[in-house]
Structure 1
């Protein structure tokens, strides 16, 4: 694999972008998996945008822009040496801050946008995964890319199985291929060992699948 391609792929599929990608696929390909989404989308607007687009923009701002800005601020104030966060020392504080942000986002959706409980629950699952990565990163460099990418795959796969949604077949197939390239890229860049990639994959898949199948019980 070309090193430049591996770097670009790692940047485009940053773990913090996974929530936006997951919900973009669900909102526009499998909207029936999100309770009340189609009903409210037909009658509500967010400014000039549809409800779907407004929710997706809100998720992008809360789960990507806000954490990225916070990490950049930590870097500027000297708490993070390198924005690539390749060492355990550079990862610890940003991960803890990100967990706090995602917990806030999950709480916001639970209390303020309770019409869409699946959104809140999936974000809660993502927050739990990040929390697990934060704890593990106190001692060991688990792959956050593997956690995020396989978490996305697990969520889509779980929803497709649970609801028998055939529309997700091709998106899931595409995600499997992209995840394969992404994990290969992380190995090519020597960002992680195979064990770190495997551990991240297992964590991401197990948490996301558990969350999807728990939805009806909460």
Structure 2
């Protein structure tokens, strides 16, 4: 989801990051690698070593360790973005917000199976909505509309696959949206 969020911002609000085109694409590749590819390889390794029984992590008790791994990786990535690379503040705020989402998801997974997919996609909608409220009217409305449409698709898919019940999906949608919306409103002043 961070790649989707940053792609939307680079496309719809390019002035907010002030990146030249070549740097923007290198940044997006770095985000994709550090927030998707490396965590994915970690989860695949956990599946290969039979630490988790399947990639869907259907068993709630098996979700904690992979989410701890992903949380730690996001924390390290956020730290590097903030302290070492000195990216524009909005990037740092977004990384803090998304990292907090993963950490909260990890904590909740100790007690209950909440939809990580719902938290993720609705978090993007929360980020876009907060940015729309803070920025001048922009093309970001299209990104927000697409995010809300994807929320419906993802929620329906999780229910259709019987991966979650409706309360797990709704809780994920609400948590992801509210957490990211509030964090961006507070941090990006």
> Normalising by structure 1, what TM-score?
0.83
Q: Is 1:203 the equivalent of 2:186?
A: no
Q: Is 1:65 the equivalent of 2:37?
A: yes
Question: Cα RMSD between the aligned structures?
Answer: 1.3
Q: Is 1:110 the equivalent of 2:101?
A: no
User: Any idea what SS the aligned residue of 2:81 has?
Assistant: helix
Structure 1 residue 87, shift from structure 2 partner: 1.1
Matched ranges for 1:27-176 at <5 A: 27-34=10-17, 37-38=18-19, 41=20, 50-176=22-148
CA deviations over 1:127-163 (Å, ceiling 9, x no partner): 1111111111111100001100100000011101111
CA distance in 2, matches of 1:26, 1:156: 8
Point out the structure with max Rg over C-alpha.
1
Structure 2: 5+ residue runs without aligned partners?
none
Quick check: 1:30–1:165 contact (8 Å CA) kept in 2?
no
> Normalising by structure 2, what TM-score?
0.95
CA distance in 2, matches of 1:154, 1:207: 8
Structure 1 residue 80, shift from structure 2 partner: 1.2
CA distance in 2, matches of 1:204, 1:33: 23
Structure 1 residue 177, shift from structure 2 partner: 1.4
Structure 1: 5+ residue runs without aligned partners?
1-17, 43-49
